[in-house]
């Protein structure tokens, strides 16, 4: 059965309701039309020029991204800029872009549930309640499978997130029973992590003074990176859209972008 961008949007909005977004965020259909027919969907973390080129090569009509392709307002679209040239390609090839960002972070089964499950946490509860919908929360707190020193826990986190390096701060001898996670940039929530009873916190974009605060609070913080803590949602979202497609008998193929990558590189 044929399907449109709008019909896929309805499914995505049921997975990550817009009311869960933060006030500063900009999720939704950011490029294209809900009336566009779709036979192939590409799921990605970011929309970059090579993502768009790949979508064109693969005959994609809809890109579903976590990070919004348009975030801040702008007063011109110049095709001699990176974004302007990228928007021109998307529009000229009739490729729509739908982004689910902080609403997907706080949604049940979203970024943080996927991250927590990947790390093997159980008995999950929310970390930071969504202001207008306190029954939902950004971040998760859960039980580590069995108490272990932080050094062992950090090693397992590094392996499960497929990281070459895992920056951390805190006492590696701390016994860990509860772990908090918040994919992306969650370093501003150290106090909430302490109040949650977690001994170890996994997030991304940890700055020097964030690490210093964790030490002062008696926490161990692991910087899994913005990319490292969010990339697991791509494969999960692809699988969920596949399941929806099959159950609704849509004639649509869903693929996960092979080009998603960490923007930060390390000189070893």
pLDDT tens-digit map of 80-101: 999 999 999 999 999 999 999 9
Portions of the chain given CATH number 3.40.1390.30? 3-101+231-256, 108-224
How much is the mean pLDDT over the chain? 97
Residue 204 has pLDDT above 90, yes or no: yes
> What pLDDT band is residue 266 in, cutting at 50, 70 and 90?
confident
CATH 3.40.1390.30 fits 3-101+231-256, yes or no: yes
- The pLDDT of residue 131 is 85
Query: Looking at the domain 108-224, which fold is it?
Result: 3.40.1390
CA distances from 68 to 17, 20, 76, 255 (A): 15, 15, 18, 19
> What pLDDT band is residue 3 in, cutting at 50, 70 and 90?
very high
Residue 74 has pLDDT above 90, yes or no: no
Can you tell me the distance from the alpha carbon of 255 to that of 51, in angstroms, rounded to the nearest whole number?
12
> What pLDDT band is residue 178 in, cutting at 50, 70 and 90?
very high
Residue 73 has pLDDT above 90, yes or no: no
- The pLDDT of residue 103 is 97
Structure-block tokens of residue 44: 């990605």
Residue 206 has pLDDT above 90, yes or no: yes
Residue 238 has pLDDT above 90, yes or no: yes
Write the pLDDT tens digit of every residue in 212-231.
Answer: 999 999 999 999 999 999 99
- The pLDDT of residue 31 is 98
Average pLDDT over residues 184-189: 97
Per residue, the 3-state secondary structure of the chain, as one string, reads CCEEHHHHHHHHHHHCCHHHCCCCCCCEEEECCCCCEECEEEEECCCCHHHHHHHHHHCCCEEEECCCCCCCCCCCCCCCCHHHHHHHHHHHCCCEEEECCHHHHHCCCCHHHHHHHHCCCEEEEEEEEECCEEEEEEEEEEEEEEEEEHHHHHHHHHHHCCCCCCCEECCCCCEEEEEEEEEEECHHHHHHHHHHCCCEEEEECCCHHHHHHHHHHCCEEEECCHHHHHCHHHHHHHHHHHHHHHHCCCCCEEEECCCCCCCCCCCC
For the whole model, what pTM was predicted? 0.96
Distance of CA 10 to the CA centre of its chain: 19
Percent of the chain topping pLDDT 70: 100
């Amino acid at each position: 059965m044929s399907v449109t961008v709008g019909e896929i949007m309805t499914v995505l909005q049921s997975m990550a309701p817009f009311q869960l977004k933060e006030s500063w965020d900009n999720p939704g259909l950011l490029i294209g039309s809900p009336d566009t027919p779709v036979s192939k969907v590409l799921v990605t973390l970011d929309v970059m020029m090579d993502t768009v080129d790949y979508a064109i090569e693969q005959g994609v009509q809809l890109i579903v991204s976590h990070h919004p392709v348009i975030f801040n307002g702008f007063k011109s679209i110049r095709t001699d800029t990176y974004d302007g040239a990228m928007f021109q390609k998307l529009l000229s090839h009739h490729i729509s872009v739908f982004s689910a960002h902080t609403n997907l972070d706080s949604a049940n089964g979203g970024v943080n549930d996927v991250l927590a499950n990947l790390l093997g946490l159980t008995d999950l509860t929310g970390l930071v309640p969504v202001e207008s919908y306190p029954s939902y929360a950004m971040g998760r707190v859960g039980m580590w499978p069995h108490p272990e020193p932080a050094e062992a826990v950090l090693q397992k986190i590094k392996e499960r997130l497929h990281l070459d390096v895992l920056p951390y701060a805190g006492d590696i001898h701390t016994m860990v029973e509860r772990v908090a996670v918040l994919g992306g940039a969650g370093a501003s929530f150290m106090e909430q992590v302490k109040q949650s009873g977690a001994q170890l916190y996994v997030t991304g974009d940890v700055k020097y003074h964030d690490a210093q605060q964790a030490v002062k609070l008696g926490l161990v913080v692991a910087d899994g990176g913005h990319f490292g803590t969010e990339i697991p949602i791509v494969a999960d979202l692809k699988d969920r859209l596949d399941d929806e497609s099959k159950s609704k008998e849509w004639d649509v193929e869903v693929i996960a972008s092979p080009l998603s990558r960490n923007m930060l590189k390390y000189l070893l």
